A and B are shown apart, each in its own frame.
Chain A
Amino acid sequence: MRTRFISSMIVAVGLFLGVATAPAQTPAYRAPRTKDGKPNLNGVWQAVNEANWDIEAHSAAPGPFYQLGAAYSVAPGIGIVEGGPIPYKPEALQKKKQNFANRMTLDPEAKCYLPGVPRAMYMPYPFQIVQSTKQIMLVFEFAGALRTVYMADQTEAPADSWMGWSNGRWEGETLVIDSTGFNDLSWFDRAGNFHSDALHVVERITAIDADHLNYEATIEDPNVFTRPWKISFPLYRRIEKNAQILEYKCVEFSEDLIYGHLRKVPLK
């Protein structure tokens, strides 16, 4: 009994360390393969962290609406940014602070705008990876967002967009996604962290066991940051039977926020 308890403790600690230190390790895990021989990352995945509130370390805090009490209060998080604060240029840091101060009216998430990249990857909702040979699609619940990753027939972005233009390649076990062609309208989180249309994101997604992916991304935007910086976190497989991407169309939920002041009888 006691031995079993100890050994399960060792396993638990091992698992914990395994997940916590995975970004630095060379992946020892070899993912199952698709029919065309690529690592099989198909499935429904979700980040389990508090980065959508703030990608940097932050304390618990009251939410912006007292009416919602603790229900919409800010959950504390250790953040997903590696190596210290986000390296904002001084004027950009000012803008970030203004964004935060005016988040009630500016936050693109509140308006049901497409979440952008990398935010879509750590919003607290599932997304599905669907692998085909020439393209991989990432399908997100929130706002019905979608990313197409071109694994063949790659071109530059034909136009700027919210979710950007993504070209991908396999480096051994790792799916590398290189994305540009973003507009300057999405945010990284509810704290007002932002980017310009010069945003360039390079993501590396690697299976570390059957039900976990390691996700890391390098974020580069010379208009806003003094140097490239990195985020990383694990993605968890939604292992419940029949996990699926549900429809989370949110336009209707945002309409009174956006157009409420234009009603014939204004909202109270």
Chain B
Amino acid sequence: MNHRFLIPLGVIALAILVAVVLVAPTSAAAQAQKAAATATKAAAPAKPLPRTPDGQPDLQGYWTNNSYTPLERPNDAKKDFYTLEELREVEKRRAAQEDEQTVPGTTADVHYDFTQFGLDRSQTRLTDNLRTSVIVDPPNGKLPPVTSEGQKRAADRAAERRKQGAQYDQVQNIPLGSRCVYQNAGPPMLPPGYNPAYQILQSKDTVIILIEMLHEVRVIPLDSRPHAPQGYRSWLGDSRGHWEGDTLVVETTNFSDKVGFRGASENMKVTERFTRVSDDAIRYEFTVNDPSTWEIPWKGEMPFVKINGPVFEHACHEGNYGVANTLKAVRIEEKKAADEAAKKGTK
């Protein structure tokens, strides 16, 4: 995955140029861009879209949604879009924060060296998303109010977690991502932090989205079959796709209750829209609908931009020494503490 920063400079330069043209840097232009974004749904782009032999818009290739753009708008961002200069400032600040985590003594939570393992975001191409949040609706860029049912569910889940004991009492209490079980695969597909590489492959009746993080594979049938029966539940849900003009629309249901995306219930429905807006970019829009959790549906939008392949096999669980080592260390610490206590007791 470290080969990605070898993207030829010319491509990067071109990409920045395209991004600047695509995502306008002033707020008046931002409005225009919004209008343009709506317009491109209907109007064909200037350059003819690449198509598969079956005549479908060709979304195939390697893509990334790598960005520092948070899901919810930060309180200090008072507008929908940054200027490119402001975005660069934000990126610089966030990169410095990541970097800081690798320097012993600079932060309470010294992590392993992000840069050494290609884990910091600056090592993959950033999407140059000028939006100040992924959420575009509600217009304030924040999640909508949570229903009373949603609040009760969140409290119940927290109580259930507390019953399981402390974080390192057993592997099941360790966060899912560290256990290689699930990390932002979605839908909605949010940047996973590192390994933000995706591949799309199309046949006539199936779209595959390969997610490098934890080698997740989304298999999306296009043949208008019904969803799997409700008894089937899964982390990535049950997806069905269809083409609306040149936009791939994917509806996903049948989530497992374990996903709990931002507090959602298993009845969450996610609708994604993939539109190839240029050779270099896919516009990715999504709507999350779960009336038992949020008072209104909410929407997000972000670009996916081209990167070099391939998507590597991320055999995360197979190489997971971290979980065993962490648990071992905690057991050793516990034993040490117990021995100390026993010594004190006998004195």
Contacts and interface: CB of A to CB of B under 8 A. Distances in A.
Nearest to A242: B225
Contacts of B109: none
A162 B219 contact: no
A159 B319 CA distance: 15
Interface in A3-58: 34-36, 42
A244 B318 CA distance: 26
Contacts of B208: 130, 137, 139
A90 to B, nearest CB: 30
Given A133-B53, A135-B201, A242-B225, A162 B318 contact: yes
B221 interface: yes
Interface in B254-284: none
A112 B181 CA distance: 11
B313 A161 contact: yes
B219 A245 contact: yes
B11 interface: no
Nearest to B256: A247
B217 A265 contact: no
B206 A144 contact: no
Contacts of B317: 112-113, 251, 254
Nearest to B169: A264
Q: Which of B52, B206, B225 has the most CB of A within 10 A?
A: B206
Contacts of A131: 203
B217 A34 contact: no
A35 B219 contact: no
Interface residues of B, number: 50
Interface string B220-262: 0100011010001011100000000000000000000000000
Nearest to B210: A146
B334 interface: yes
A128 interface: yes
A114 B313 contact: yes
A158 interface: yes
Contacts of A132: 52, 60, 201-203
Interface residue tally on A, bucketed by range: 35 or more
Interface string B293-329: 0000000000000000011110101100001100110
A35 B53 contact: yes
B181 A34 contact: no
A169 interface: no
Contacts of B226: 242
Nearest to A112: B317
B205 interface: yes
Given A247-B236, A262-B328, A114 B315 contact: yes
Interface string A128-165: 10111101010100001110100000000011011100
A36 B56 CA distance: 13
Contacts of B315: 113-114, 161-162
Given A42-B205, A137-B201, A246 B217 contact: no
A128 B169 contact: no
Interface string B116-159: 00000000000000000000000000000000000000000000
A113 B315 CA distance: 8
A140 B313 CA distance: 14
Contacts of B179: 251-252, 255
B98 to A, nearest CB: 25
Given A34-B53, A158-B310, A259-B327, A251 B181 contact: yes
A114 to B, nearest CB: 6
13 contacts: A42-B203, A132-B52, A133-B52, A139-B217, A139-B219, A148-B310, A159-B312, A162-B315, A162-B318, A242-B225, A255-B171, A262-B328, A264-B331
Nearest first, the 3 closest Cβ-Cβ pairs linking A and B are A262-B327, A35-B53, A247-B234
